[in-house]
């Protein structure tokens, strides 16, 4: 059994090596890097679903928050914007926070007519908020709108943004967990999905925060960039082909960074899983009522796990934005950042950390490589056909082979191991 797991990892490694040899090492490393990030996201989802049975379909939102953290941490601050509206925006946000807290407190107090009171507090809060916020926002967005128009970030080294991404996601998860974790299965799923969409709507439309759909580009890199290496005389002199050397070097650097994070996470999660804590969590997943009767605080555990899993997704999101070098809210699509991650977890084997990691690497590899494979497939299929409109039509359709092939491969893999490639225990 263990042999088989190792074999599967070897298979993924072999696929990457094959890519390196048949196509290029740059491509192989690029796939590896995103694969590592995907594996981390899959770990987060696996923690929530595989271990605790929490159906989180809002992964995208947490990943996006991780990305936002990068923009808010690593980008240089925009001084003019801060002067124009920093104070206004923050006092508005504080007003909003106070109003909401007050409303919650009143609600909890069970006063008579609390509904009206809460509504009144929220209404006054909202009006006050808009009064403070709108002019401040307009002022900020007016500062050099083509390139900035936002507050910018803290100008810290970009690696700081990774834990910040985790924290930001954790904070959001706390809020969500407090309200929505009472929901079961698919109801929780659609709630988280909705919240992810809300997070994204905010990121797309609040330009003062991180430029909204106008995107943040030029995120600083934690490693020297390939271009810097190429311009470095010493480096250029040492290698015959400085371009390849530099691009591969940078990717290796990222690979090491990502691998360190991934391994640390796996170790922590394996330790937790094999401990009484893990046993308790599995018991809760199996039967909440009984676990509750056996003295386990189900709500707290759920909250804890939801926060941790989401934080891991946020961390991965920050890592990904760092790797991309830009924050583009439009990129965050549920298909890619929620459902694909789910495919990774299930195909890999939910409830098993190694399964999730394997799934992350393998599915990402396929996601990228089914395109040439699909095109090749079409080429092979049509090679026997006579030239003509039909063949042209098929050749033009080659692009759609990408998703088609992806679906086919998924179905095949699941056919042979319906419980995932490395099932739970």
Partner 1 sequence: MIVVDDIHKHFGGFRAVDGASLTIREGSITGLIGPNGAGKTTLFNVIAGHLKPTSGRVTMGGEDITGLPPHELFHKGLLRTFQIAHEFHSMTVRENLMMVPGDQTGETLVNAWLKRRQIAREEEALRRKADEVLEFLTISHLADEKAGNLSGGQKKLLELGRTMMVDAKIVFLDEVGAGVNRTLLMTIADAILRLNKERGYTFVVIEHDMDFIGKLCDPVICMAEGKVLAEGTLDEIKANEQVIEAYLGTGLKNKEMANG
Partner 2 sequence: MDLLNAFVALSNFVLVPALAYGAQLALGALGVTLIYGILRFSNFAHGDTMAFGTMAVVLFTWLFQSWGINLGPLPTALLALPFGIVICMGLVLLTDRYIYRFYRAQKVKPVVLVIVSMGVMFVTNGLVRFIIGPDDQRFADGERFLISARTFKEMTGLDEGLAIKTGQALTVVIAVIAVALLFWFLNRTRTGKSMRAYSDNEDLALLSGINPEKVVMVTWLIVAALATLAGTLYGLDKSFKPFTYFQLLLPFFAAAIVGGLGSPIGAIVGGFVIAFSEVLITYAWKKVLTYALPETLAPDGLAQLLSTDYKFAVSFVILLVVLLFRPTGLFKGKSV
Partner 3 sequence: ESHASEVKLGVILGFTGPIESLTQAMAAGAELAMSEVTESGALLGGAKVTPVRADSTCVDAGAATAAAERLVTAEGVKGIMGADCSGVTGAVLTNVAVPNGMVMISPSATSPGLSEAEDNGLFFRTAPSDARQGVVMTEGLIGMGVKSVAVTYTNNDYGKGLADSFQQAFEAAGGEVTISAAHEDGKADYSAEVGALASAGGDLLVVAGYVDQGGAGIVRGSLDTGAFDRFHFPDGMIGAALEENFGSELDGSTGQVPGTDSPGAAKFAEVVGDKFDVSGPYTGESYDAAALILLAMQAAGSVEPGDYKSKVEMVANAPGEKIYPGELAKALELIAAGTDIDYVGATDVELIGPGEASGSFREIKFEGGKMTTTGYR
> What one-character DSSP code corresponds to residue 111?
-
Does residue number 205 form part of the binding site for partner 3 (CB under 8 A)? yes
> What one-character DSSP code corresponds to residue 217?
E
Q: What residue 217 binds from partner 2, partner 3, partner 1, none (CB within 5 to 8 A, per partner kind)?
A: partner 3
Nearest to 160 by CA among 74, 76, 225, 75: 74
Does residue number 175 form part of the binding site for partner 2 (CB under 8 A)? no
DSSP sequence for 252-269: HHHHHHHHHHHHHHHHHH
Q: How far apart are CA 32 and CA 14, in angstroms?
A: 12
- Complex with partner 1: residue 304 or 326, whichever CB lies closer: 304
Q: How far apart are CA 80 and CA 63, in angstroms?
A: 29
Nearest to 203 by CA among 193, 215, 191, 192: 215
| Residue 294 φ/ψ, nearest 5 degrees | -90, 20
The correct pick among 100, 117, 272, 377 for binding partner 1 (CB under 8 A) is 272
Cβ(30)–Cβ(308) under 8 Å?
A: no
Residue 333, both tokens: 């699509």
Does residue number 138 form part of the binding site for partner 1 (CB under 8 A)? no
Q: What residue 49 binds from partner 3, partner 1, partner 2, none (CB within 5 to 8 A, per partner kind)?
A: partner 2
Does residue number 326 form part of the binding site for partner 3 (CB under 8 A)? yes
Does residue number 55 form part of the binding site for partner 2 (CB under 8 A)? yes
Does residue number 423 form part of the binding site for partner 1 (CB under 8 A)? no
Interface of this chain with partner 3, residues 48 to 87, rule: CB under 8 A: none
Residue 184, both tokens: 């079961």
The residues, ordered by sequence, that sit 6+ positions from 27 with a Cβ below 8 Å of its Cβ are: 19, 20
| Residue 326 φ/ψ, nearest 5 degrees | -160, 155
- Complex with partner 1: residue 23 or 287, whichever CB lies closer: 287
Q: How far apart are CA 46 and CA 348, in angstroms?
A: 10
- Complex with partner 2: residue 187 or 228, whichever CB lies closer: 187
Nearest distance, CB of residue 294 and partner 1, angstroms = 5
Interface of this chain with partner 3, residues 9 to 28, rule: CB under 8 A: 22-27
The correct pick among 8, 34, 60, 421 for binding partner 3 (CB under 8 A) is 34
User: How many chain residues are in contact with partner 1, going by CB under 8 A?
Assistant: 26
Does residue number 366 form part of the binding site for partner 2 (CB under 8 A)? no
Does residue number 184 form part of the binding site for partner 1 (CB under 8 A)? no
Cβ(180)–Cβ(199) under 8 Å?
A: no
The correct pick among 114, 130, 204, 391 for binding partner 2 (CB under 8 A) is 204
Residue 396, both tokens: 């033009």
Q: What residue 160 binds from partner 3, partner 2, partner 1, none (CB within 5 to 8 A, per partner kind)?
A: none
Does residue number 294 form part of the binding site for partner 1 (CB under 8 A)? yes
If phi over 0 gives left and psi between -120 and 50 gives alpha, with beta otherwise, what is residue 215?
left
- Distance between alpha carbon 182 and the CA centroid of its chain, in Å? 24
Q: How far apart are CA 93 and CA 102, in angstroms?
A: 14
The residues, ordered by sequence, that sit 6+ positions from 242 with a Cβ below 8 Å of its Cβ are: 229, 230, 235, 236
Q: What residue 418 binds from partner 2, partner 1, partner 3, none (CB within 5 to 8 A, per partner kind)?
A: partner 2
- Complex with partner 3: residue 114 or 204, whichever CB lies closer: 204
Nearest distance, CB of residue 174 and partner 1, angstroms = 16
Does residue number 218 form part of the binding site for partner 3 (CB under 8 A)? yes
Does residue number 118 form part of the binding site for partner 2 (CB under 8 A)? no
Radius of gyration of the chain (CA): 24
Does residue number 150 form part of the binding site for partner 3 (CB under 8 A)? no
Residues engaged in binding partner 3 (CB under 8 A): 22-27, 30-31, 34, 145-147, 204-205, 212-215, 217-218, 225-227, 230, 243-244, 246-247, 250, 320, 323-326, 328, 330-331, 333, 336, 364, 367-368, 371-372, 375, 396, 398-400, 402-403
Residues engaged in binding partner 1 (CB under 8 A): 268, 271-272, 275-280, 282-283, 285-287, 289-298, 304, 424
């Amino acid at each position: 059994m263990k042999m088989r797991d190792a074999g599967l990892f070897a298979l993924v490694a072999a696929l990457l090596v094959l890519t390196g040899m048949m196509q290029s090492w740059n491509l192989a490393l690029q796939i590896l890097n995103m694969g590592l990030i995907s594996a981390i996201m899959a770990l987060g989802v696996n923690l929530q679903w595989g271990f605790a049975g929490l159906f989180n379909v809002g992964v995208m939102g947490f990943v996006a928050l991780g990305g936002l953290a990068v923009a808010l941490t690593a980008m240089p601050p925009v001084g003019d914007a801060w002067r124009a509206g920093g104070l206004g925006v923050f006092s508005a946000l504080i007003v909003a926070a106070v109003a909401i807290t007050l409303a919650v407190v009143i609600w909890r107090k069970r006063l008579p007519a609390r509904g009206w009171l809460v509504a009144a507090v929220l209404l006054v809060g909202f009006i006050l908020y808009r009064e403070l916020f709108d002019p401040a926002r307009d002022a900020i967005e007016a500062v050099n709108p083509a390139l900035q128009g936002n507050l910018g970030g803290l100008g810290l080294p970009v690696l700081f943004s990774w834990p910040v991404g985790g924290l930001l996601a954790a904070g959001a998860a706390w809020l969500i967990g407090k309200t929505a974790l009472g929901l079961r299965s698919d109801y929780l799923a659609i709630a988280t999905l909705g919240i992810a969409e809300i997070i994204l709507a905010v990121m797309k439309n609040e330009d003062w925060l991180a430029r909204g759909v106008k995107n943040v580009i030029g995120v600083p890199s934690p490693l020297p960039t390939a271009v810097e290496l190429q311009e470095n005389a010493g480096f250029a002199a040492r290698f015959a082909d400085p371009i390849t050397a530099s691009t591969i070097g940078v990717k290796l650097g990222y690979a090491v960074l990502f691998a360190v994070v991934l391994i640390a996470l796996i170790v922590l999660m394996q330790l937790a899983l094999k401990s009484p804590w893990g046993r308790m969590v599995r018991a809760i997943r199996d039967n909440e009522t009984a676990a509750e009767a056996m003295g386990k605080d189900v709500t707290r555990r759920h909250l804890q796990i939801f926060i941790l899993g989401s934080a891991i997704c946020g961390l991965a999101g920050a890592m990904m934005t760092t790797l991309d070098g830009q924050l583009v809210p439009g990129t965050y699509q549920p298909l890619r950042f929620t459902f694909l991650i789910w495919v990774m977890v299930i195909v890999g084997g939910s409830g098993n950390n190694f399964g999730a990691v394997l799934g992350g690497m393998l599915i990402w590899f396929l996601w990228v490589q089914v395109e040439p494979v699909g095109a090749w497939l079409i080429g092979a299929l049509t090679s026997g056909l006579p030239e003509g409109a039909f063949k042209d039509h098929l050749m033009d359709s080659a692009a759609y082979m990408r998703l088609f092939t992806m679906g086919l491969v998924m179905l095949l893999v699941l056919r042979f191991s319906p419980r995932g490639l490395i099932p739970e225990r």
